[in-house]
Amino acid sequence: GFTRSFSSSNSLNAIKTVTVIGGGLMGSGIAQISAQAGQNVTIVDLNSETLQKALKSIENNLTRVAKKVHKDDVAKIDSFVKDSLARIKTSIKIEDGVNSDLIIEAVVEQLDVKQQLFNKLDELAPQHTILTSNTSSIPIKAIGSGIKRKDRLGGLHFFNPVPVMRLIEVIKGDDMSEETHQTLMEWGKSVGKTCITCKDRPGFVVNRLLGPYSAEALRMYERGDASMEDIDIGMKLGAGYPMGPFELCDYTGLDTNKHVMSVLYEMTKEEVFRPVALLDKKVAEGKLGVKSGEGFYKYK
């Protein structure tokens, strides 16, 4: 009720330390914006090489941000990057990451991996720690099915590239307390994002709408109604999208798109999410988009 959400606004500053589990594409972006906003961050990944790569890409992106803010002031650019980086610790041991106010999981999109992780986090993290997932498509309820603190379970869904995209979808787990919800909304704002709230439903808001859009674009091309290039130009110039559907699919990864679509199909059984032959073929050929050098288009 009202009293709870009021009193919670005092405890919001409680989030001072964040752990990001998974230092890949999304995890490194989430760690960066958190550190940039003054939070102490721990990144945990299975792989120490990934952690080194994450720190390098964070440093590059921080420099990009600093140059924008501080123009030609080399000293200020330098200290912005150094101070932000100094707030980031990395580890390959989960035990080093559990003592945080907020944990954001951004590991591979596999239910069993996420479930095991959440069970372990629930066991090891202090009582007050909020557990969240950045999943694109898996129900939060399923990820947290084995944990006790269901009032402190939810989703924080970021968008790629994290430092640029201004949205966070705050997924309100079915049993999430109003206090946890408020804390997450405030935290999102404190790291410079706009937050929207969505229930724990298939695809949340953005992927539930982007899924059918991408699928229809693929089918339109399969039918031969228009070329890939023309469909992309159409949506950019006719609807004001920054990328057309094929460019976006290459950018997010064909494997990721296929996976999100199949999870949405399993959950909703809606025709629009049925597997698309063209996408399956490309993924089978290893054409995953920008990251593999070729998807619908070729990249050098």
CB-CB neighbours of 11 under 10 Å: 13
**Residue 267 is labelled as binding a ligand:** no
Interaction residues for ligand NAD, span 149-188 (CB under 6 A): 158, 160
Asked if 173 and 155 count as a contact pair (C-beta separation under 8 A), the reply is yes
Clarify whether 157 is annotated catalytic.
yes
Q: Which is nearer to ligand NAD, 135 or 177 (CB)?
A: 135
CB-CB neighbours of 38 under 10 Å: 12
**Catalytic pick among 28, 84, 157, 214:** 157
Q: Which is nearer to ligand CAA, 19 or 256 (CB)?
A: 256
**Residue 61 is labelled as binding a ligand:** no
**Residue 237 is labelled as binding a ligand:** no
Which strands form 153-157's sheet, in the order they lie side by side? 88-91, 40-44, 17-21, 102-105, 130-133, 153-157, 167-172, 194-199
Q: Which is nearer to ligand NAD, 168 or 218 (CB)?
A: 168
43: β partners: 20, 90
**Catalytic pick among 28, 34, 177, 207:** 207
Phi–psi pair at 170, nearest 5 degrees: -90, 115
Report the helix count and the strand count for the chain, using DSSP H and E. Answer: 12, 8
Clarify whether 169 is annotated catalytic.
yes
**Residue 146 is labelled as binding a ligand:** no
Interaction residues for ligand NAD, span 23-82 (CB under 6 A): 23-27, 44-47, 50
Q: Which of 20, 41, 65, 107 is close enough to bind ligand NAD by CB under 6 A?
A: 107
3-state helix, strand, coil in the chain (%, to 5): 55, 15, 30
Q: What is the largest CA-CA distance in the chain?
A: 59
User: How far apart are alpha carbons 199 and 197 in whole angstroms?
Assistant: 7
Q: Where does this chain touch ligand CAA (CB under 6 A) — which range of 93-101, 175-183, 242-250, 264-272?
A: 242-250
Residues that bind ligand CAA (CB under 6 A): 61, 64, 68, 136, 159-161, 163-165, 207, 242-243, 248, 252, 256
Annotated binding site for NAD(+): 22-27, 45, 109, 114, 136, 160, 291
- Residues forming the active site: 136, 157, 169, 207
List residues binding ligand NAD (CB under 6 A). 21-27, 44-47, 50, 106-109, 113, 117, 134-136, 158, 160, 252, 256
